Structure 1
Amino acid sequence: MLSKDQYLTPKQIVAELDKYIIGQNDAKRNVAIALRNRWRRMNVKEDIQGDIVPNNILMIGATGVGKTEIARRLAKVADAPFVKVEASKFTEVGYVGRDVESMVRDLVEQAVSLVKHAKKEEVKEKAEEVVENIILDALIPPIKKPSTNFSSQNDDSVAIPVDDAELNEKTRERFRDKIKSGEMDDRKIDISVSQTSTGGIGMVGGGGMDETSMMNIQEMIGQMMPKKSKKRKVTIAEARRILFEEESSRLIDMDEVKDEAIAKAENTGIIFIDEVDKIAVGASKKGGPDVSREGVQRDLLPIVEGSAVNTKYGVINTDHVLFIAAGAFHFAKPSDLIPELQGRFPIRVELENLTKEDFVRILSEPKNALTKQYRALIGAEDVDITFNDEAIDEIASIAFGINAEIENIGARRLHTVMSRLLNDILFDIPDIIGPNAKIVIDKAKVQEKLDGMVENRDLSQFIL
């Protein structure tokens, strides 16, 4: 359990979100409070701890205003398992297109992955030492030093002088240093890689068996089958990666990983249900698809309320999983959701549409701003590109104008505009624009490249 000092305060959480997300302060404050409340719950008296349920959040806002990014960044700040699902996927085939419990199973998979990664970091040093020895043995097999000048256990034994054994050890140490420094990464060696053979066993599912159940049964059969070793010739760099995965997996206790992952998913897991407005029953209630939508809501309800879900790692209880739902709600209202589901999302946050000034900030301020991304990409070719303030202002103005006149897709429009602006440059590097070149994007360059984009209004080019 994290101490008070290790867990971020709401103000610190908002500050972390501010590094990547412009505006939407109300939404950031609410998710920060929800995250801090988790630490508070885990540190109250046990007799009331189980009764404190998370305040699930419903985000209302147009596409591209930052709903998904807020939820995803929140999970990263909390080092929590995170799953995003589209509610509309559950209505695609028949009555329910996909088993709604699958999102909880996906959450546990994410938790297992996070815990395994943390455990591997703990045994990293020991695993790397084992891998180093395996690679060294493949390059220079060790010679056992005899207790006397010559080994002479029987007439058929091979005599090994002490000097040879010592020379072998010194040579191994020299090569160990070369392996550590990466000097021999391109050299190829033979290694044995363990693999599980299922013997080509296929599964024919019976009625009612979903895809997840089928995969679980196949995995169980795979674990029961004997493991075989396969010889592979790979570079030392590749061998280090393959063998590290094997050795670190051997050093960690998977039962412990499963228990920790279940606890992590139950107490810190975040499930983001996007497009929840698509399963809202319209005011007309004409039947047909609306029946399916209401059915999906009723299937989601017990999971959001709190229920036990079977996974291949064990049973997970969803009582304290944080659910964040989001939707544009252009053609439906939150009140079109069934009352029971509405009640499970007591915190409602309306996200604001992005302004041109927001676009200017999005292009330049966040750690992952588009201008910084393109500068890094082009910098990989040893070419330097800069965007002056007037250029950024013009890009924002054009993107905002297209959103206003065609279809508002929020900050995603900036990706389209930036791609159109830089396509020729990206194509010309490195054949025409060589290394060490310096490119400056100014207002005139932006207008030259994007004026046609504004005039033509060809939807096929501009809508993502």
Structure 2
Amino acid sequence: MSENENKDDLIHTDHNDIPNDNTNKDKDEYEDICYICRRPESVAGKMIHIPSNICICQDCMQKTFDSMNGSGLNMNDFMNMGGGMPNIGMINLADMQGFMPNNQKVKKKKPKEQSEPVLDIHAIPAPHKIKAKLDEYVVGQEHAKKVISVAVYNHYKRVAADTKDEIEIEKSNMLMIGPTGCGKTYLVKTLAKLLDVPLAITDATSLTEAGYIGDDIESVVSKLLAAAGNDVDKAERGIIFIDEIDKIAKKKNTNQRDVSGESVQQGMLKLLEGAEVEVPVGASSKNAMVPMTMVNTKNILFICGGAFPGLEDVIKERLNKEASIGFKADLKDKYDEDENLLRQVTVEDIRKFGMIPEFIGRLPVIFTLDALTEEMLVRILKEPKNAILKQYKKLLALDEVELSFEDDALYAIAKKAKEKKVGARALRAIIEEFMLDIMYEVPKDDNIGKVTITRDYVEKNGGPLIAMRGCAELEDHNM
């Protein structure tokens, strides 16, 4: 039997292997993936289909036959091995194939003539409209909202225009610096929701240099691909937010290999600037069992954020050096009480903190967020569309009970949150603590019509005001 005849026997599919309607639908939507090298059809080329719905690329098929011929094994003997040797049968590939989950399949790209324009340049909301929408969800941070609105507008104008002339608009990747709990992640989440683009939020602390335990640098793009439903075209116009970016700063005074610091910054340079990268589909690291696909990061907007603890000391050192000479020199402790010292940050300060110049250069839009004041915390409690107080009022309204807060109580909550020094994150924990008894006791009594939270109750000096249905409010000392 000739080699070509053997190939035909392997590739032949009988009537029992005809796929059903669901299989046909998956074939129309998802790319075929090579069973051996796990590359999709767009990368490996046309697939060869063999029984049991198994696909093998031409490269792997050729290598298989080359290795068989090189080993001196007769193909005819190989095909009949099961009948000639006792207790040995051919491997059933159907048992090994199983079903590949959809989160590891790559969606087919639309043909160029059928694909819709990525973005309509006239449909991109203007910066003032983006900021107006952000105002409904995010309290304060006026400068940050203004900067991010303009940067996003310019970025998507660049994607939509896709200029082919000699003037190429560079990416407007961003670096946001602000104390913990000031709303960095929330700002990006809200932005992606308003723009209706895929968003991937990842933590820089889990990233390591390729070959070490941890997530590979390409995993940030893999997460965006998953958020876009494995649609490469959709992912290539999404947003990636890398939080805790300060944790990959260059380590000082270390003799060990810095696999999660400077080397990660080096590895991210090509992603930030824009490059074709091979990323695993449905996994955080490359391995032989995961399909790979190519994603171009040229039009992906990268936003990096971090609290940068210790950056204030770098800024103070610079400012004190500038103002500590002469008879009118400033006092050394002048900047110790300045909560918004980060506003005076410069690129040189960030470099001294441990970020390499090449990395900073690929994040041209640098801005800071302010620390939250008590007044801002009070506004956060009640003003946003999904404010915490509105959530609790809705919860009690489902029990037909009205919940209200005195203004003094709100300031007491804000004061407690301010003391914890973790920003707006403290608000929910504080409210959960004193609302526990109310949420437990109110469903017991159907006669309760209204609960008013007072300052004394927040400070544990008294109880809330309880009003029965059709009665005046009474202070309850039992809660």
TM range (shorter): 0.5 to 0.7
With a CA cutoff of 8 Å and minimum separation of 6, indicate the structure with the bigger relative contact order. Answer: 1
Provide Cα deviations, 1:433-457, integer angstroms capped at 9, x if missing partner: 4366211112222222699xxxxxx
Question: What is the match of residue 178 of structure 2?
Answer: 61
Task: Confirm or deny that 1:438 pairs with 2:450.
Answer: yes
Question: What is the match of residue 135 of structure 1?
Answer: none
Question: What is the match of residue 233 of structure 2?
Answer: 263
Provide Cα deviations, 1:288-325, integer angstroms capped at 9, x if missing partner: 26454112112222211212123548421001211111
Q: 1:76 to 1:50 in 2, by over 3 A?
A: farther
Provide Cα deviations, 1:359-415, integer angstroms capped at 9, x if missing partner: 111111111111111111222222221112222122112222x23xxxx11111111
Question: What is the match of residue 390 of structure 2?
Answer: 372
Q: 1:371 to 1:320 in 2, by over 3 A?
A: same
Task: Confirm or deny that 1:35 pairs with 2:152.
Answer: yes
Task: Determine the C-alpha separation between the residues in 1 that align with 2:199 and 2:379.
Answer: 27
In structure 2, give the amino acid aligned to 1:275. E
Q: 1:319 aligns with which of 298, 306, 331?
A: 298
TM-score by length of 1: 0.59
Task: Determine the C-alpha separation between the residues in 2 that align with 1:446 and 1:381.
Answer: 22
Provide Cα deviations, 1:124-164, integer angstroms capped at 9, x if missing partner: xxxxxxxxxxxxxxxxxxxxxxxxxxxxxxxxxxxxxxxxx
Question: What is the match of residue 295 of structure 1?
Answer: 263
Task: Determine the C-alpha separation between the residues in 2 that align with 1:93 and 1:340.
Answer: 19
Task: Determine the C-alpha separation between the residues in 2 that align with 1:90 and 1:99.
Answer: 6
In structure 1, give the amino acid aligned to 2:270. P
Task: Determine the C-alpha separation between the residues in 1 that align with 2:210 and 2:297.
Answer: 26
Task: Confirm or deny that 1:276 pairs with 2:245.
Answer: yes
* Secondary structure, counterpart of 2:443 in structure 1: coil
Task: Determine the C-alpha separation between the residues in 1 that align with 2:174 and 2:391.
Answer: 31
Task: Confirm or deny that 1:382 pairs with 2:400.
Answer: yes
* Secondary structure, counterpart of 1:437 in structure 2: strand
In structure 2, give the amino acid aligned to 1:334. I
Question: What is the match of residue 334 of structure 1?
Answer: 350
Are 1:90 and 1:98, in contact at CA under 8 Å, matched by a contact in 2? Answer: yes
Q: 2:435 aligns with which of 409, 412, 422?
A: 422
In structure 2, give the amino acid aligned to 1:337. M
TM-score by length of 2: 0.57
* Secondary structure, counterpart of 2:255 in structure 1: coil
The share of aligned pairs that are identical, in percent, is 39
Shift of 1:95: 3.5
Pairwise CA RMSD: 2.6
Q: 1:277 to 1:435 in 2, by over 3 A?
A: farther
Task: Confirm or deny that 1:26 pairs with 2:39.
Answer: no
Shift of 1:18: 0.9
Question: What is the match of residue 89 of structure 1?
Answer: 206
In structure 2, give the amino acid aligned to 1:36. Y
* Secondary structure, counterpart of 2:456 in structure 1: helix
Q: 1:99 to 1:390 in 2, by over 3 A?
A: same
Q: 1:287 to 1:26 in 2, by over 3 A?
A: farther
* Secondary structure, counterpart of 1:381 in structure 2: coil
Are 2:159 and 2:299, in contact at CA under 8 Å, matched by a contact in 1? Answer: no
Task: Confirm or deny that 1:6 pairs with 2:24.
Answer: no
Shift of 1:26: 1.6
* Secondary structure, counterpart of 1:75 in structure 2: helix
Task: Determine the C-alpha separation between the residues in 1 that align with 2:368 and 2:241.
Answer: 16
Task: Determine the C-alpha separation between the residues in 2 that align with 1:68 and 1:295.
Answer: 25
How many residues of Structure 1 are paired with residues of Structure 2 in the alignment?
296
Provide Cα deviations, 1:7-66, integer angstroms capped at 9, x if missing partner: 211011111111111111121112111221134224436314993232111111111001
Task: Determine the C-alpha separation between the residues in 2 that align with 1:92 and 1:419.
Answer: 41
Question: What is the match of residue 322 of structure 2?
Answer: none
Q: 1:308 to 1:49 in 2, by over 3 A?
A: farther
- Which one has a larger percent helix, Structure 1 or Structure 2? 1
Are 2:209 and 2:216, in contact at CA under 8 Å, matched by a contact in 1? Answer: no
* Secondary structure, counterpart of 2:446 in structure 1: coil
* Secondary structure, counterpart of 2:129 in structure 1: helix
| Unpaired stretches in structure 2, ≥5 consecutive residues | 1-116, 282-291, 312-348, 464-479
Task: Determine the C-alpha separation between the residues in 2 that align with 1:298 and 1:371.
Answer: 44
In structure 2, give the amino acid aligned to 1:398. K
Q: 1:56 to 1:361 in 2, by over 3 A?
A: same
1:445-460 equivalences in 2 (<5 Å)? 445-448=457-460
In structure 1, give the amino acid aligned to 2:309. H
Task: Determine the C-alpha separation between the residues in 1 that align with 2:185 and 2:158.
Answer: 25
* Secondary structure, counterpart of 2:207 in structure 1: helix
Q: 1:84 to 1:50 in 2, by over 3 A?
A: farther
Question: What is the match of residue 102 of structure 1?
Answer: 219
Provide Cα deviations, 1:315-348, integer angstroms capped at 9, x if missing partner: 2100121111111111355211121111111111
In structure 1, give the amino acid aligned to 2:137. Y
Provide Cα deviations, 1:181-213, integer angstroms capped at 9, x if missing partner: xxxxxxxxxxxxxxxxxxxxxxxxxxxxxxxxx
Whichever of the two has the greater Rg, that structure is 2
Are 1:55 and 1:346, in contact at CA under 8 Å, matched by a contact in 2? Answer: yes
Q: 1:383 to 1:355 in 2, by over 3 A?
A: same
Task: Determine the C-alpha separation between the residues in 2 that align with 1:73 and 1:87.
Answer: 21
In structure 1, give the amino acid aligned to 2:350. P
Are 1:61 and 1:328, in contact at CA under 8 Å, matched by a contact in 2? Answer: yes
Question: What is the match of residue 215 of structure 1?
Answer: none
Are 1:381 and 1:435, in contact at CA under 8 Å, matched by a contact in 2? Answer: no
Q: 1:450 to 1:5 in 2, by over 3 A?
A: farther
Are 2:442 and 2:448, in contact at CA under 8 Å, matched by a contact in 1? Answer: no
| Unpaired stretches in structure 1, ≥5 consecutive residues | 113-257, 452-464
